[in-house]
Chain A
Amino acid sequence: MQNRGARLRRNVKQFRRDWVLYALLVPTLTFFIVFRVLPILNMRLAFFDYSARKAWTWAGLKYFEIIFSSPLMGQIVTNTLIISCMKYILLFPFFAVFAILLSEMRFSPLRKFTQVVSYLPHFLSWVVIAGIWISFLARTGAVNEIRGLFGAQPIDYMTDKSSIRWVLFYSEGWRSLGWDSIVYFTAILNISPALYEAAEIDGAGRYHIIRYIVIPALITPMVTMFILNLGFFLNAGFDQVLNFTNAAINSRIEILDTYIYSIGIGGGQFSLATAVGLLKGFIGVALVLVTHFTSKRLTGKGVW
């Protein structure tokens, strides 16, 4: 008890001395309470009928029943998972491959040029990227022009149902290949030169050096990045889809977030949209927790 009292007194004394410090934190904490905690409290709307003027009325699980009986939901979840798999599993290793190829470029001015060019798309907004890609994939665009050289008929990629998911895949790669490879490139630069020298003395060629020195050094960052991505598995890239979608192909790439946006903001079905968001949020949190504890057991390092 005495101990506790002494600690309290010490804390009060410290607080008096450092009150400016706490005052500096107030605006930031207020921001999170107003713009994050209040919205979280508003998620209760999933269980209420929305009304603009009157109080919201209790609706129970009505909106969740609508979700689970909707035939549309299956398609949307499937789209989300397919697009996520393409990005986080299929595209993901290419970032490491790009880093290895970069590090293998001997003539540094050309390597720097490749780096500077490949990091740039990361800083463009998805609106701009969509604008560029719409022109890039148009009938008169670069892709169809090159295909034309080989005698192929032009394809309207942006409205072609069988191509559109690959358009998302390639445009994501176009935007992220450089930037997302930085973490692996850094890992390669951090490999001790002594390792290479030893390998070269032993007569190892480039292939063996990559196979036995470079790739093992990339395993840890790859596992970390993969785990981090798992937490975003249900996001699948809202901004990208929203800007690449159109009526002709929407059914192939409608994901949870764009669906929430279109029924909520577009259609005014606030409760239903919140219910979908709530479910997605819960699964997202579960995914993050599962990956956190799995990774902690496997690598000793968690997500946070």
Chain B
Amino acid sequence: MNVNLYPIKEFRLPVVAECINPDVFRGKSIKEIEVLKVWEGNKQKKLSELFKVEAEKAEGSQGDPVITIHGDVSRVRRIGVGMKAGEIIVKGNAGMHLGEEMRGGKITVYGNVLGWVGSMMKGGVIEIHGNTGDYLGAPYRGSTEGMKGGRIVVYGNVGREAGAHMRKGIIKIYGSAGQFVGFRMKGGTIYVQKDCEARAGACMVDGTIIVGGRIESVLPTFTIEGLRKKVKVEEGEVVEAPFYLFIGDLTENGRGKLFVAKEPNPHLSRYEKFL
């Protein structure tokens, strides 16, 4: 089943639409989808009051639903929260908490997304062909239950604290990242292809962070372990360039690995005398 959603208007108030989720849409007729409840500001409304809903039955109608949103939904929060299967495609920008606690399926966004993408994710795939805000894959404030699986790929830049408290899974950022990448990380892999602001891996205990561009500075609580000729990001993706390997964060007795490319970081050459 394919469902197309067209925003009727430009949203001015925040919309909370947890119901935009393949698990919710599965087995429902177009009429049933139209009356699903969403919040706009402090008013509860029907989905059809905000979106034009079109559905077409694919040939093998047994498959998981594919939801396509055509238009800008950057004010719409909590799309695909907790989804287990199926697919969501957003042709436009999307709002906060996209794919929070996701367990399976796929979300693709051809645009920018605000914060908390894939927060507390446990499985599935999120692909963003644009920039994202802060707390990519990070848990809600105060919680230590970070990302436990799945993969997030961002082709643009990300904000701060990407992958905080991460335990498993992979985050690949083909742009630059803000401060505190992999804050309090316990496992998994974060790859930043371009530049990275300071304090990467603060308080990390385990896991891997790979920075392919310039990093502002490495925390003093990281110690240099060696120089590597290449780094494997994941099965089938290897970066062939010299990398410094740092171990930390020593304030937490951590054994996390922080790889930083040598070439774009001449200011780190002073570490070489310790090798």
Are A and B co-members of a single complex?
no
Where the two chains meet, the residues of B that have a C-beta atom closer than 8 Å to any C-beta of A are: none
